[in-house]
Structure 1
Amino acid sequence: MQANIRHQVSPYLVFFLIYNSQVGVGILSFQRTIAAKAGYDAWIGVLAAGCIVQVFIWVMYKLLGKANGDIIDVHTNIFGNVLGKFISFFIMIYYWLASVSVLIAFIEIIQVWMFPTMPSWILSTLILFSVYYCVSGGFRVIVGMSFLSFIFPQILIIVLFIFPLKIAHFSNLLPIMNHSFMDMADSIKSSIYSIAGTEALLMYYPFIRDPKASKKFAHLGVLFTTFLYTISTIVSFTFFSENQLKTTIWPELSLTKTVTLSFLERFEYLYISMYLIIICALIALFLWCSSRGLKKIFNRKQKYTLLLLCLLSVILCHFNGSFKDMLNKYIIQMNLWIFYCYIPILLLVLSFIKRGKQNDE
């Protein structure tokens, strides 16, 4: 079921939603993870992961177009009202846990780089207060935040990529393709999670004014983010040696040390502060998906489910260390199995059901 036209957005804005959902804290640290899998051939894995996400976008549009609604409508069409909402509940939990994972990761960055003594509950409360205000304004406000998260930080990202290239060693990338297939597969798997987030489309699809016209903008969004991740990978690989990259937790943030401006001493402070726009927009999108879905499942007002999710998020942000690693591990597994395995199967099942109904008619 499509949303009211007053709450819908133009098709071209899907480009910014895709960018917002894919560019989070992952781009600040994924270079070290993928390099540990396939060395400096890992940039090829990033391109391959981008191609896989393009296929996933096509699958989602096919699935949602057949159901003419969101993922909850897909489940109720196939499994019925009770079982369909029960299955949808777990996907809503995934959206919420994904937002918590992003929040915990960004709080860690703030504590390490800017405010080491500030408690996690203060940072999480301040961020989630802004997110709650944003989500309460409705989906169109979230789209506006996604647009801002694209416009302003891009200037800083371009500056960040220019300075390291002055002393880059492109010979680091040679020889090409000197790793095994399994190493490349592990690199692709890690890259897929880093550029994940497009699955939010499963919830905001009914809020697109002309979904078919927005398909090309969704593919362009994935193409742009794949290009951005690839450039970030190549810049990091040509600047750091492999041994340096193994011990650098946030390679892209470490690149800010190369930026020297006469009027600015600590560029990383500006970079992290501006990056808060991206993080707030991303958390707002995931929390909107989760609270919107829980509203449809339990027939409760969205502001109550949103408030509950924010309070639980603040509590979970108290945990760190092993909890953060465990959460990331489960989020990665849920992302791969639910969206890249389950959703294509769901498309096949729905296609057979629709074909069977047409034959009966």
Structure 2
Amino acid sequence: MKKYAFNEITTWQYVFLIFASEIGIGVLPFPANVTRYAGTDSWISVILGWVLITAASLVIIQAMKRCPDGTLLDLLTNYWGKWAGGAGAIVVALYFAYFTYVVFSRTVIYVKAWLLPQTSELMLVALLMIPFWLIARSGVRVHGRFAGFVVLICCWMPLIFIDVLSDAEWLHLLPVLKEGWGPVLKGTPEMVFTFLGFEMTFVLYPFLQKKDRAALGVIAANTLALLVYLLLDLTSLVFYSPDEILQYNEPVISLLKVVEFPFIERFEIVFLAFYLLLISLTWIPFTYCSVYATSWMLGKPDHRPHLFVFLLLLVVSYIFYQPTFRDNDKMIGWMGKLGAGFAVVFPFLLWMLVAAADRYRKTSVH
């Protein structure tokens, strides 16, 4: 019997979990961040970032095929012993815990700045803890169903930006590669950070019902994220001037101020309310990955006690320290560097080490 038979997810749930985590925190500021390096050729950086993270995703799948009924931690244990699995559990727990804190604190900042400016940060944290606990305490199957529900009710959001194209100036995109490939390549690492979330495959893989579709699923998720990012990036480039876009921290939000409906006065508030559902699909699965690692390390099948401790520490941290927008930007900078190492460099290294270990075993047998 499969180890995770009672917690399996379908291919579409797998796709939606990865897709929603990829478009979580980075979707609002990324046009300005990438344009700062690549100029009006930033859309090429978006495509190159997609190529890089798709390659890393497929390498993760190839490595996980060596241990189809286990996570990354089981793979490390099977090949290099308990010490490797334990070390991997510590790294995975800290990595996803840090990402959860950064994304969650950004969520609190967004809610306070745009939706509830008169409410204290500690009160907002307490309010967010309720849905946080109700969803995160459940298994991956519930997370997958929640992801499908959120993507279904939020699928209209990218289409809203098509309305902005009526005021577009397409000449902003010309000439293509006006400064060569150098700026485009400099902007690609920024897109790698923006696409982060696909590394959850390390934990989600054994829960997938049809593992032969894992590669197809991760390509589909990455491509959906690519389409969203291309739409937002191209819309920002043709709406703003090349210099104007750099003046906004979150140009996507500023775009929404142009969208008008006769029955809604401030549409960006409605948009952000739905966006909170999408961004929750970043920090809730990341939290599960973190507490799953600590539970695995201690041999506890129930992750809920670890989740309770994690959420308690998160609330207590806000009593002593409430990060500002600038503080969170610095955290995101470190998050990008850590993510590039764990999500892009590590999969290739792991795949080579696993392939080398398999070859060594075959030669030693003969």
Tell me whether 34-43 or 326-335 shows the greater mean CA deviation: 326-335
Using the alignment, how far apart are the partners of 1:163 and 1:132 within structure 2?
A: 37
CA distance in 1, matches of 2:337, 2:239: 31
> Contact 2:7/2:207 (CA < 8 Å) preserved in 1?
yes
C-alpha displacement of 1:204: 1.2
TM-score in terms of structure 1 length: 0.95
CA distance in 2, matches of 1:118, 1:142: 29
Deviation (angstroms), 1:136:
1.5
Contact persistence 1:37–1:183 (CA under 8 A)? yes
**Shift, 1:326, TM fit:** 3.3
Contact kept in structure 2, 1:131 and 1:281, CA below 8 Å? no
Match of 1:275 in 2: 275
Does the Cα contact within 8 Å between 1:78 and 1:84 map onto a contact in 2?
no
Q: Does 1:234 align with 2:234?
A: yes
Deviations 1:162-210 (Å, cap 9, x if unpaired)? 2211101111111110234332222100011011110011011111112
Instruction: Give 3-state SS (helix, strand or coil) of 2:178's partner.
Output: coil
Looking at structure 2, the residues matched to 2 and 85 of structure 1 have their Cα atoms a distance apart, in angstroms, of 22
SS at match of 1:277: helix
Residue 335 (structure 1) aligns with: 339
Cα distance in 1, alignment partners of residues 111 and 351 from structure 2 = 41
Contact residue 2 and residue 207 of structure 1 kept, 8 A = no
Query: Where does the alignment leave 5 or more consecutive residues of structure 1 unmatched?
Result: none
Change in CA separation of 1:148 and 1:179 when aligned onto 2, cut-off 3 Å: farther
- Secondary structure of the residue that 2:156 maps to in structure 1? helix
Moved more, 53-62 or 171-180: 171-180
Between the aligned partners of 2:7 and 2:335, the Cα distance in structure 1 is: 30
How far is 1:323 from its partner?
3.6
Matched, 1:345 2:349: yes
Matched with 1:319 is: 322
Q: Match of 1:67? A: 67
1:35–1:315: structure 2 CA closer, same or farther, 3 Å change rule?
farther
Following the alignment from structure 1 to structure 2, what is the Cα–Cα distance between the partners of residues 12 and 225? 14
Question: Judging changes above 3 Å, is the alpha-carbon distance between structure 1 residues 4 and 320 closer, same or farther for their aligned structure 2 residues?
Answer: closer
> Is residue 121 of structure 2 the alignment partner of residue 117 of structure 1?
no
Question: How far 1:130 moved relative to its partner?
Answer: 0.6
In the alignment, is the contact (CA less than 8 A) between 2:92 and 2:289 conserved in 1? no
- Label 1:316 to 1:42 Cα distance change in 2 as closer, same or farther (>3 A): farther
Q: Is the 8 A contact 1:8 1:140 kept in 2?
A: yes
**CA contact 1:130–1:280 (8 Å) conserved in 2:** no
For the residues of structure 1 that align with 2:140 and 2:13, how far apart are their CA atoms? 12
Q: Following the alignment from structure 2 to structure 1, what is the Cα–Cα distance between the partners of residues 167 and 291?
A: 47
Instruction: Give me the CA root mean square deviation.
Output: 1.7
| Structure 1 contact 107–123 (Cα < 8 Å) conserved | yes
Residue 197 (structure 1) aligned with residue 197 (structure 2): yes
Deviations 1:60-84 (A, max 9, x none): 1001111222111122123310233
1:185-264 equivalence runs, <5 A: 185-264=185-264
Taking the aligned partners of 2:179 and 2:122, their CA distance within structure 1 comes to 43
| Identity level (%) | 19
Aligned partner letter, 1:328 = I
Structure 2 counterparts to residues 1-361 of structure 1, below 5 A: 3-68=3-68, 69-159=70-160, 161-300=161-300, 301-317=302-318, 318-321=321-324, 323-361=327-365
Question: 2:3 corresponds to which letter in structure 1?
Answer: A
Q: Do 2:39 and 2:242's aligned partners in 1 also have CA atoms closer than 8 Å?
A: yes
**Structure 1 residues 154 and 353: CA distance shift in structure 2, 3 A:** same
Q: Report the secondary structure of 1:25's partner residue.
A: coil
Secondary structure in structure 2 of the residue aligned to 1:122? helix
C-alpha distance in 2, partners of 1:40/1:105?
27
Rounded Cα–Cα distance in structure 1 between residues aligned with 2:126 and 2:350: 38
Greater shift after overlay, 348-357 or 226-235? 348-357
- What's the TM-score once normalised by structure 2's chain length? 0.93
In the TM superposition, residue 236 of structure 1 has moved relative to its aligned partner by 0.8
User: Structure 1 CA distance, aligned partners of 2:25 and 2:250?
Assistant: 9
Offset of residue 29 of structure 1: 0.9
Q: C-alpha separation between the residues in 2 aligned to 1:16 and 1:287?
A: 17
Q: Take 2:328 and 2:9, find their aligned partners in 1: how far apart are those partners?
A: 35
Alignment check: 8 A CA contact 2:24 2:281 kept: no
Work out the CA distance in 2 between the residues paired with 1:6 and 1:260: 47
Q: Do the aligned partners of 2:45 and 2:184 also contact (CA within 8 Å) in 1? A: yes
- Deviation per residue, 1:13-60 (Å, 9 max, x gap): 222122112110211111110111111111100011001111111101
Over residues 272-319 of structure 1, what are the superposed CA-to-partner deviations in whole Å (9 max), with x where a residue is unaligned? 111121122221111111111110012244111111222223344543
Cα deviations by residue, 1:120-139 (Å, 9 ceiling, x for unpaired): 22222222321211021221
